[in-house]
Amino acid sequence: MDVLDDYLAGVRAHGAVFCRTVSTPPWGLRFIEPAPLALAVMLHGDGWVVPAEADPVALRQGEIVLIRSTQPYTVADRPTSSPQILVDGDDHCTTISDPASARRNWRITGRTSSPEGEQSGDDSDLLVTAGYRIGGDLSLPLLDTLPQVAAVPRDPSLAPLLDLIADETTDDKPGQQVVLDRLLDLLLVRSLRAWFDQAGSVPPPGYRALSDPLLGHVLRRLHEEPSLPWTVASLAAEAGLSRTTFARRFTSMVGRPPLAYLTHWRMTLAADRLRQSGATIAAVAKEVGYNDAFTFSSAFKRTRGISPSAHRAATP
């Protein structure tokens, strides 16, 4: 396990939504209850993502955008196109009841939408979007680093994966939703890598240090066994560096001193664990490396500004 593995542990695609327009534009979908994280890719044709509080972002064929928004947004052939279809939080598609929409007679078949009576052709636009469920607190450090719309440049290495997704959407097949969701999970990981590797992006703490042969090993050890009684000396020994050199290098690359990073990660794990039914504060304290609940509770409140019991009580 490493930083990205842990941050994505609770992120899964579910019920991917597909829109195939088989006539000339305009077309548009309005996502009225956005998922915490969404991915959109144009497999054929071009489009635009129009967020509520930011400028429209172009989405060219083969390009991918990651969308982090709590406000409704639109994906359409042009920024000015009015949406004909509404997609709610359960991925249910409905037509907008206005005269223009009625004349076009949009129909929804499963996850694919198209004007009734028309057949798809080589020049039709095909948009695939996926909303991702976010499980607990583990993914929050990752999500907090993403802008409202992150445009991932076209990557030729992703072409085979996009071809698989396009082929899977052609016809209804047994197990289709499961296959597509897993393909979109893979596409999300590859897209996040591409985004964070760009100059100017702000990856989650520790991400870039993974490429350092010494610090990457230490970070993986911390994420694999956070409950061990780590010290700066023991972590420096893992890296094969002196304490001073290790602490300086770790702080420079990760953005936090080693033990501060460890405490923050332990409290993130604890916050996630406390949301689960039956997890006592004493048991969670032991799981993340504390011998008693009092010391753990003090560290939790100091780090997150709320007591473990209050955090658990606030869980929906």
The domains of the chain are located at 3-196, 208-313
Q: How many CB atoms lie within 10 A of CB 228?
A: 12
The C-alpha atoms of residue 47 and residue 41 are separated, in whole angstroms, by: 9
Provide the CATH number for the domain formed by 3-196 in this structure: 2.60.120.280
DSSP 3-state percent helix, strand, coil across the chain (nearest 5): 40, 20, 40
Enumerate helices (H) and strands (E) in the chain, giving the number of each.
12, 13
Q: How far is Cα 75 from Cα 85, in angstroms, rounded to an integer?
A: 10
| pLDDT tens track for 254-271 | 989 999 999 999 998 999
The yes-or-no verdict on residue 92 having pLDDT over 50 is yes
pLDDT of residue 237: 96
Residues paired with 129 in a beta bridge: 17, 40
* Paired tokens of 55: 């400028």
Is pLDDT above 70 for 29? yes
Contacts of 236 (CB under 8 A, 6+ apart): 242, 243, 245, 246, 247
pLDDT tens-digit readout, 149-201: 999 888 888 889 988 888 887 777 788 878 888 888 889 889 988 888 888 88
Contacts of 133 (CB under 8 A, 6+ apart): 10, 11, 12, 14, 35, 36
Q: Residue 41: is its pLDDT beyond 50?
A: yes
Residue 9's pLDDT band, with cuts at 50, 70 and 90, is low
pTM of the predicted model over 0.95: no
Class of domain 208-313: mainly alpha
Decide if pLDDT at 140 tops 80. no
